[in-house]
Amino acid sequence: MKAFAALYSRLDATTSSNAKLAAMRDYFREAPAEDAAWAVYFLAGGRPRQLVPNRLLRETAMQVAQLPEWLFEESYQAVGDLAETISLVVPEAEHRSEQGLAVWMQDRLLPLRGLPPQELGARLPRLWAQLDRRSLMVCIKLITGAFRVGVSKLLVTRALATLAEIDPKRVAQRLVGYTDLSHRPSAEGYRALIAAESDAEHAQRGGQPYPFFLAHPLQSPIERFDELLGPPSDWHIEWKWDGIRAQLVKRDGQIWIWSRGEELVSDRFPELCALAGCLPDGTVLDGEIVVWKAAEAPPAPLLQSEPQGEQEPAAGFGVQPFALLQQRIGRKNLTGKVLAAAPVAVLAYDLLEWQGEDWRQRPHQQRRSRLEAILRQCNHPALMASPLVEGEDWQTLARLRERSRALGVEGMMLKARASRYGVGRTKDVGVWWKWKIDPFAVDAVLIYAQRGHGRRASLYTDFTFAVWNGEPGDPERALVPFAKAYSGLTDEEMRQVDAIVRKTTVEKFGPVRSVTPTLVFELGFEGIAVSSRHKSGLAVRFPRMLRWRHDKPVEEADTLQTLKALLVSHERSL
Amino acid sequence: MDLVVARPEGLYCPPGDFYIDPWRPVERAVITHAHGDHARWGMRHYLATRDGEGILRARIGSDMPLQTLAYGEALEHQGVRLSLHPAGHVLGSAQIRLEHRGEVWVASGDYKVEPDGTCAPFEPVRCHTFISESTFGLPIYRWPAQSQVFREINDWWRANATVGRPSVLFCYAFGKAQRILHGLDQNIGSVVVHGAVEPLNRVYRDAGVQLPPTLYAGDLARNDPRLKQAIVIAPPAAGGSSWMRRFGNYADAFASGWMLLRGTRRRRGVDRGFVLSDHADWPGLLWAIGATGAERVMVTHGSVATLVRYLREERGLDAQAFETEYGEEDDVTVQEAE
């Protein structure tokens, strides 16, 4: 525990990636594999569910520190972090525990979950008394599941790769699913992460998916497409679906479904697990899960992906708004009624593994045609190929793309026919572009709220939104307000947001409340310009909420950089 | 009768007709110590400790109208018996004891209870009413032992010196800087100071405080080989200025009580934060207040409301708040001033 706490301090004390890499390498070099396994889990973003309720932690701390509640609260307000506050107010102890992170997690902390309050009240002080301040703070963060230290998964990957002297991409692949809740870190698992590479390693990996290949936004004006991209015939062009990116892994007679966040979501989609019957073992598909309500079978072109030329796409695919999918995911119990109200389908667009063989290094063209053959064979209404869109030139495609909103899609995806399937946002083996319809949409964080007027009177419905002024992982970055918006929510959403605003209020300045940033909305706007009147240096026109991004953590909201990029592209197109 | 009341000009002693650390120009001012928020320019008469004379004159003016007293020496003024007692904060810092018709008040200015070897250590003075600061008046503030902090500073310096990196340590130029200099291990490398620090060192040395030999940064060429193993003591204001460029690829740190909190440490944007304060921590405040035996406590600058409430509810003392304009020292923001 002490070594891990020391690592935490080193990582926390610096903003330099190199210093962080060095700290991690030093730690992993020394740490026993069982401890390293847990360290990777936490550093790569693993969050076990909260083991002890915050209220109980507070009460125990007040008792141990002999502080009245109001004084504990004052202290917490000054520190702004529960784990740190507790570590500062309880009597400082000598670090007496010789046990490592793994023993602490498995034998001491995880067993706390679900214990009766009285038992917790007795156990916690005994645990705390064995740790020095620094270790205690880290320990409490492990208990609350709020452990964060400003290293990206990518950085952890690099640290492990240099240590093991293997390709970071290989480590990235092995790390997929490592932080999933169902996964229990182990010495064996850690050794597998850093083991020497073997050719057949993917074959023995059960439900293990591949790292997702991610697209880059295409923001250049259409006039430059020929120069930048060459002719459309070099590309496979698809609609950009507004659903959940997922991998379907079929091995050993079973289907595993992984979301882009590398979460195992199979149990959320029982009807897709039924596809196990029609996909052969050793098949991994990449695609989008959407709610799909076709009156009958999907229109013919969708199944066959025949060239559509300048033909207008069949009006209204069966794809339903994302919100419907979101509601379904939020449900604890997937009753027959829920399944019937929001039936899902997969629009598959890539084939990563076929007959147990890794196909990612084959050209997209080859993967795509095999994929279509597989889907024809499978012939299941819940598994379709994402149709290809064709056009003679980029202008034609741009006109087609104008229909995106009507079709319920977000724009187009451009995938080079010759491209390999990369890892993350790599560009070295070919590129995927996302050519979204509304360039003026960003994911912003709600930071202030004010009561609305008229129909919205007395509800907190007028919001100030902010974006980050630094990239993810930058511990110094802050939220910078850039727009106010009040429209775009349904009445039901309004009530929900109002309740959250009241619950998360930090401070009141007259009628305005500042809130703990927890809510992310996709904010749309018509124009963007430089402004000296706004803190962000930017002003946007007609901002409104396009949708509530329940799926987006605050850390993943957009940055000032994104806004500035929009500014540049906007100016160029004017 | 209250021996001290808060007035717009500062804390005022009605029977003696003088002010304590006033923030507006007045006729007579008794000064607890020479930090900028307590010792201001423009008073007709100043009274302070003999130990503090050098620094006061250096800061306010060599010809300032200053009368001094040794610690413990008493003076009668309009029926008020006044004496100055060590506050352990910086060189020359004092608590002011006032006695009038059997009533005793002590105004402590800023104080620290742990002795540090660079100034006379804090002495509790029995009184009926104690005026206490509350800079670190929350139970989260509990200082690590001074010896441990100096070990950390020296270890950090040594590690940097081993790889040939200058160590730049930011701290308040008066008091904190000399305290750090006093605790440095001279065997590690050269000790270099910023121009704002050196004049104060001179005063400390003249007062008999042991400080290691220091080099003035301005005297060193940019490529002076001594810089690679040096520690540089500089005020926070020097950070980010072009003055820093001469040190090349340096490591930096900040020494302050506020560095106890992770958030402040990170906002500072330095490699390291050392927890070193010249104010009392929470246990220190409570100990000092208890040691005076006072039944009445007037709380000034810091976590005023918190300390008042705690003393009333948990200690049964008659505690009240005093509005003052202390707590803004020269070159640091209020939050990080000490």
Give residue A436's pLDDT: 84
Task: Enumerate the residues of chain A whose CB falls inside 8 A of the CB of residue B142.
Answer: 88, 92
Task: Enumerate the residues of chain A whose CB falls inside 8 A of the CB of residue B261.
Answer: 78-79, 84
Q: How far apart are CA A233 and CA A100, in angstroms?
A: 58
Choose the CATH number for A216-436 among 3.90.600.10, 3.40.50.300, 3.30.470.30, 3.30.1130.10: 3.30.470.30
Q: How far apart are CA B102 and CA A273, in angstroms?
A: 89
| Predicted-complex ipTM score | 0.92
Contact between chains at A79 and B140 (C-beta distance less than 8 A): yes
Residue position matching structure tokens 């400390």: B204
Q: Is pLDDT at A452 greater than 70 in this prediction?
A: no
Q: Please list the alpha-helical segments (H only) found in A305-424.
A: 322-330, 336-341, 364-378, 394-401, 404-407
What percentage of residues in chain A have a pLDDT greater than 70?
Answer: 91
Task: Name every residue whose Cβ is closer than 8 Å to that of residue A349 and which is 6 or more positions away in sequence.
Answer: A238, A286, A287, A288, A368, A371, A385, A386, A413, A415
Residue B328: alpha-carbon gap to chain centroid: 12
Which of B247, B246, B253, B288 has its CA nearest to residue B269?
A: B253
Give the residue from chain A lying closest to B272, CA to CA. Answer: A13
Instruction: Report the CATH architecture of B146-274.
Output: 3-Layer(aba) Sandwich (3.40)
Contact between chains at A78 and B138 (C-beta distance less than 8 A): yes
Q: DSSP code of A35?
A: H
Task: Enumerate the residues of chain A whose CB falls inside 8 A of the CB of residue B263.
Answer: 79-81
Q: Is pLDDT at A455 greater than 60 in this prediction?
A: no
Task: Enumerate the residues of chain A whose CB falls inside 8 A of the CB of residue B262.
Answer: 12, 81, 84
User: What percent of chain A is helix, strand and coil (3-state, nearest 5)?
Assistant: 40, 20, 35
Residue position matching structure tokens 């000092």: B288
* CB A467, CB A521: distance < 8 Å: no
Contact between chains at B140 and A475 (C-beta distance less than 8 A): no
Which of B280, B287, B283, B271 has its CA nearest to residue B302?
A: B280
Nearest-neighbour CA in chain B from A17: distance (Å): 13
Strand order in the sheet with B191-193: B215-216, B191-193, B231-234, B167-170, B251-255, B272-274
B265 vs A: CB within 8 A: yes
Q: How far apart are CA B226 and CA A549, in angstroms?
A: 56
Contact between chains at A75 and B139 (C-beta distance less than 8 A): yes
Give the residue from chain A lying closest to B261, CA to CA. Answer: A79
In the predicted model, what is the mean pLDDT of residues A252-276? 86
Contact between chains at A79 and B266 (C-beta distance less than 8 A): no
* CB A317, CB A409: distance < 8 Å: yes
Q: Is pLDDT at A305 greater than 50 in this prediction?
A: no
Confidence of residue A568 (pLDDT cuts 50, 70, 90): low
Give residue B242's pLDDT: 85
Which of B92, B128, B87 has its CA nearest to residue B298?
A: B128
In the predicted model, what is the mean pLDDT of residues B222-241? 90
Give residue A510's pLDDT: 67
Give residue A402's pLDDT: 83
In the predicted model, what is the mean pLDDT of residues B60-89? 97
Nearest-neighbour CA in chain B from A125: distance (Å): 18
Q: In chain B, which residues fall in CATH 3.40.50.10890?
A: 146-274
Task: Enumerate the residues of chain B whose CB falls inside 8 A of the CB of residue A14.
Answer: 271
φ, ψ of residue B233 in degrees (nearest 5): -100, 120
Q: Is pLDDT at A156 greater than 80 in this prediction?
A: yes
Contact between chains at B140 and A75 (C-beta distance less than 8 A): yes
Nearest to B306 among A74, A475, A476 (CB): A74
Confidence of residue A573 (pLDDT cuts 50, 70, 90): very low
Nearest-neighbour CA in chain A from B93: distance (Å): 29
In the predicted model, what is the mean pLDDT of residues A153-169? 89
Task: Name every residue whose Cβ is closer than 8 Å to that of residue A505 and which is 6 or more positions away in sequence.
Answer: A513, A514, A515
**Range of weakest confidence among A451-460, A536-545, B301-310:** A451-460
- Label residues B188-223 b or e (16+ Cβ within 10 Å = b): bbbbbbbebbbebbebbeebebebeebbebeebeee
**What is the DSSP annotation of A226-264?**
HHHH--GGGEEEEE--SSEEEEEEEETTEEEEEETTS-B
Contact between chains at A65 and B265 (C-beta distance less than 8 A): no
Q: What angle do CA A455, A457, A461 make, to 5 degrees?
A: 90
Tokens at A196, concatenated: 């020497």
Of residues B140 and B241, the one with the higher pLDDT is B140
Give residue A516's pLDDT: 93
Nearest-neighbour CA in chain A from B315: distance (Å): 12
Confidence of residue A167 (pLDDT cuts 50, 70, 90): confident
Residue A64: alpha-carbon gap to chain centroid: 38
Tokens at A345, concatenated: 């389908």
Nearest-neighbour CA in chain A from B214: distance (Å): 29
Give residue A263's pLDDT: 76
Give residue A170's pLDDT: 80
Packing angle between helix A187-194 and helix A33-43, nearest 10 degrees? 70
* CB A5, CB A95: distance < 8 Å: no
**Range of weakest confidence among A51-65, A168-182, A306-320:** A306-320
Tokens at B317, concatenated: 């003392």
Mean pLDDT of chain B: 92
Q: Is pLDDT at A413 greater than 80 in this prediction?
A: yes
Of residues B8 and A430, the one with the higher pLDDT is B8
Give the residue from chain A lying closest to B260, CA to CA. Answer: A88
Confidence of residue B299 (pLDDT cuts 50, 70, 90): very high
In the predicted model, what is the mean pLDDT of residues A172-194? 86
Give residue B323's pLDDT: 83
Nearest to A71 among B262, B265, B306 (CB): B306
**What is the DSSP annotation of B21-43?**
S-SS--SEEE-S--STTTS-S--
Give residue A572's pLDDT: 39
In the predicted model, what is the mean pLDDT of residues A499-526? 87
Residue B285 zone, left/alpha/beta (φ > 0; ψ -120 to 50; rest):
alpha
Contact between chains at B266 and A476 (C-beta distance less than 8 A): yes
Which of B167, B180, B191, B182 has its CA nearest to residue B244?
A: B167
Give residue A409's pLDDT: 83
Q: Which value, in Å, is the radius of gyration of the alpha carbons in chain A?
A: 25
Contact between chains at A74 and B272 (C-beta distance less than 8 A): no
Other beta carbons less than 10 A from residue A569's beta carbon: 18
* CB A443, CB A521: distance < 8 Å: yes
**Range of weakest confidence among A13-17, A117-121, A272-276:** A13-17
φ, ψ of residue A331 in degrees (nearest 5): -70, 135
Mean pLDDT of chain A: 86
Q: DSSP code of A424?
A: B
Confidence of residue A285 (pLDDT cuts 50, 70, 90): very high
Q: Is pLDDT at A105 greater than 60 in this prediction?
A: yes
Contact between chains at A85 and B140 (C-beta distance less than 8 A): yes
Task: Name every residue whose Cβ is closer than 8 Å to that of residue A224 and which is 6 or more positions away in sequence.
Answer: none
Give the residue from chain B lying closest to A12, CA to CA. Answer: B266
In the predicted model, what is the mean pLDDT of residues A463-487? 91
Give the residue from chain A lying closest to B144, CA to CA. Answer: A92
Q: Is pLDDT at A32 greater than 70 in this prediction?
A: yes
Residue position matching structure tokens 């929900």: A496
Confidence of residue A306 (pLDDT cuts 50, 70, 90): very low
Residue A414: alpha-carbon gap to chain centroid: 22
Task: Enumerate the residues of chain A whose CB falls inside 8 A of the CB of residue B138.
Answer: 71, 74-75, 78
B219 vs A: CB within 8 A: no
B40 vs A: CB within 8 A: no
Three-state secondary-structure class, residue A409: coil
**Range of weakest confidence among A269-278, A447-456, B275-284:** A447-456
In the predicted model, what is the mean pLDDT of residues B89-117? 97
**Range of weakest confidence among A294-303, A343-352, A365-374:** A294-303
Q: Is pLDDT at B281 greater than 60 in this prediction?
A: yes
Nearest-neighbour CA in chain B from A85: distance (Å): 7
Segment A39-74, tens digit of pLDDT: 999 999 888 889 999 999 999 999 999 999 999 988
Other beta carbons less than 10 A from residue B86's beta carbon: 21
Task: Enumerate the residues of chain A whose CB falls inside 8 A of the CB of residue B265.
Answer: 13
In the predicted model, what is the mean pLDDT of residues B221-250? 90
Domains in chain A: boundaries = 216-436, 441-573
What percentage of residues in chain B have a pLDDT greater than 90?
Answer: 82
Instruction: Report the CATH architecture of B5-141+278-336.
Output: 4-Layer Sandwich (3.60)
As a CATH number, domain A441-573 is: 2.40.50.140
Segment A362-406, tens digit of pLDDT: 999 999 999 999 999 999 999 999 999 999 999 999 999 888 867
Q: In chain B, which residues fall in CATH 3.60.15.10?
A: 5-141+278-336
Confidence of residue A312 (pLDDT cuts 50, 70, 90): very low
Task: Enumerate the residues of chain B whose CB falls inside 8 A of the CB of residue A62.
Answer: none
Give residue A533's pLDDT: 73
Tokens at A409, concatenated: 């899609």
Q: How far apart are CA B20 and CA B170, in angstroms?
A: 30
Three-state secondary-structure class, residue A561: helix
Contact between chains at B261 and A84 (C-beta distance less than 8 A): yes
Q: How far apart are CA B58 and CA B41, in angstroms?
A: 12
Taking a contact as any Cβ pair under 8 Å apart, which residues of chain B between 142 and 161 contact chain A? 142
Which of B134, B135, B140 is the best residue to mutate to test the A interface, defined by the most A CB atoms within 10 Å of its own CB? B140
Residue position matching structure tokens 């804390």: B11
Contact between chains at A75 and B138 (C-beta distance less than 8 A): yes
Q: How far apart are CA A200 and CA A189, in angstroms?
A: 17
Task: Enumerate the residues of chain A whose CB falls inside 8 A of the CB of residue B266.
Answer: 12, 475-476
Give residue B338's pLDDT: 41
A&B contacts, CB < 8 Å: 47
Which of A9, A16, A71, A469 is the best residue to mutate to test the B interface, defined by the most B CB atoms within 10 Å of its own CB? A71
Residue A28: alpha-carbon gap to chain centroid: 26
Nearest to B140 among A13, A15, A78 (CB): A78
Task: Name every residue whose Cβ is closer than 8 Å to that of residue B314 and which is 6 or more positions away in sequence.
Answer: A68
pTM: predicted TM-score of the whole model, two decimal places: 0.70
Give the residue from chain B lying closest to A93, CA to CA. Answer: B144
Report how far apart, in Å, the C-alpha atoms of A174 and of each of A168, A191, A205, A331, A376 are.
10, 11, 9, 31, 31
Q: How far apart are CA B327 and CA B314, in angstroms?
A: 26
What percentage of residues in chain A have a pLDDT greater than 90?
Answer: 51
